[in-house]
Amino acid sequence: MNTKAPLICDTQLPGSTIGMVGGGQLGRMFAVAAAAMGYRVVIFTDAENSPASHVAAQTVVGDLNDEAAIDRFAEQCDVITLEFENIPATTIARCRKFAPPYPAASVLATAQDRLIEKTTFQDAGLPVTPFRKVHDSASLQTAADELGWPLIIKTARSGYDGKGQHRIESADDAKQVQWSAATEWIAEKCIHFEKEVSVIVARTPDGRSETFPIFENTHTNHILDISVAPASLPDSLSKEAHRIAGAAAEIIDVVGLLCVELFVSGESILINEVAPRPHNSGHLTIEGCETSQFEQHVRAVCNLPLGSTQQRTPIAAMANLLGDLWTPDGQAPDWIAALADPSLNLHLYGKAQAKPSRKMGHLTMTGHDRETVVRRLADARSKLPQA
């Protein structure tokens, strides 16, 4: 058993062991970046043959609530981090007996609950989408009387990529909601926005921070489709987006990464949601920035100097690859056709089975002209489906 004092904010130098809770694609790309810097990564996941396990030094498979499995994982680690925020607080508390976990359980408590998250930022004076707590049709009507129709209602906990969310146009629509699916719901005013953008902030245990360029995001069926950096914004709004993101990271005292998703509406910027981890929109940083979000995550939790977040080229873009690109019988896309463009970068996540809407990989491209980069990226993806 690890007997060292675990909670001092020491710098963890290359050669140390980093624990990653979660075995998906974010853990995979983190492990690749960490290994390149000389770290050993141990994955803790509840799934066999997870994407991250293919590249990690070791994998502990077990229920995330299993104390014996938690101990087998955590006792090997010098520092612990995570790839998703919906981890039981008791798991992080037990990990803490062996090594410092970043982000802390208090950060997860905020990020796991949309009501707590929105209230925390609103009380701190940051701009958020107007919201109300609801639990049934009557309380939803009260929210509509104050905020107006339509409303976006979401389960307070869990849900991503549009899961657990409904657009409600009227009181009649509210009758279709299965309120028993969650104990708490949040109703948010439907914002008419011009752009959706995101900002990723890296922050160390001793409070140093860096922000990445602002990513401009487009979604299809509530799933991120294409991200481009930098976002096309006036300087005043860019500065405000960076200010809000930096303040949000400081308010909840995150260590590691925090992605702040924002709506741009006229001259206003509003926080939509936050995620204390690497983010899909930040994948373009692997080729697009001097330091990728994954290397920066390593640097942040290990208390190293943070890397430069400058873009390598004026424009960088990413397109998601979903399981819909695979044939029903599992035949892979035509990688040769897409890679005929020599400027294209292909990232696959090693998932065993392709499913509709499942994120299987992504493409990135960099260049000097926004329109050209996005067009070439979209063209390459369009060549992937097999005839």
Residue at 226 is within a domain: yes
Domain final residue pick, 160, 189, 218: 189
Asked if 212 and 354 sit in the same domain, the reply is: yes
- In degrees rounded to 5, what are phi and psi of residue 276? -85, 65
- Residue 309 and residue 372 in one domain: yes
The CATH number linked to 82 is 3.40.50.20
Judgement on whether residues 182 and 317 belong to the same structural domain of the protein: no
Does residue 58 sit in the same domain as residue 202?
no
CATH number of the CATH domain containing 280: 3.30.470.20
Residues 145, 287: one domain?
A: no
Does 163 share its domain with 207? no
The answer to the question of residue 63 being in a domain is yes
Domain of 199, in residue numbers: 195-382
Say which CATH number the domain at 161 has: 3.30.1490.20
| Position 162 in a domain | yes
pLDDT at 163: 60
199: closest CA among 160, 238, 162? 238
CA torsion 68→41→350→364, rounded to 10°?
140
Helix (H, G, I), strand (E, B) or coil at 303: coil
DSSP 128: B
Is residue 254 located within the same domain as residue 336?
yes
Please tell me whether residues 50 and 167 are part of one structural domain.
no
Flag whether 107 is in a domain: no
The residue type of 286 is: I
pTM of the shown model: 0.94
Q: Which pLDDT belongs to residue 1?
A: 39
333 falls within a domain: yes
Residue 224 lies in a domain: yes
| Boundary-marking domain end, from 57, 80, 101 | 101
CA distance 174 to 276: 31
User: Phi/psi of residue 134, each to 5°?
Assistant: -135, 160
Cβ–Cβ < 8 Å for 36, 298: no
- Looking at residue 230, its amino acid is P
Q: Specify whether 233 is located in the same domain as 172.
A: no
Report the distance separating Cα 18 and Cα 40, nearest Å. 6
Alpha carbons 68 and 247: distance in angstroms, whole number: 38
Among residues 173, 189, 205, the one where a domain terminates is: 189
How many domains are contained in the chain? 3
Residue 4 covered by a domain: no
- pLDDT, tens digit only, all 387 positions of the chain: 344 444 446 899 999 999 999 999 999 999 999 999 999 999 999 999 999 999 999 999 999 999 999 999 999 999 999 999 999 989 999 999 999 999 999 999 999 999 999 999 999 999 999 999 999 999 999 999 999 999 999 999 876 555 668 899 998 888 888 888 888 999 999 999 999 999 999 999 999 999 999 999 999 998 999 999 999 999 999 999 999 999 999 999 999 999 999 999 999 999 999 999 999 999 999 999 999 999 999 999 999 999 999 999 999 999 999 999 999 988 999 999 999 999 999 999 999 999 999 999 999 999 999 999 999 999 999 999 986
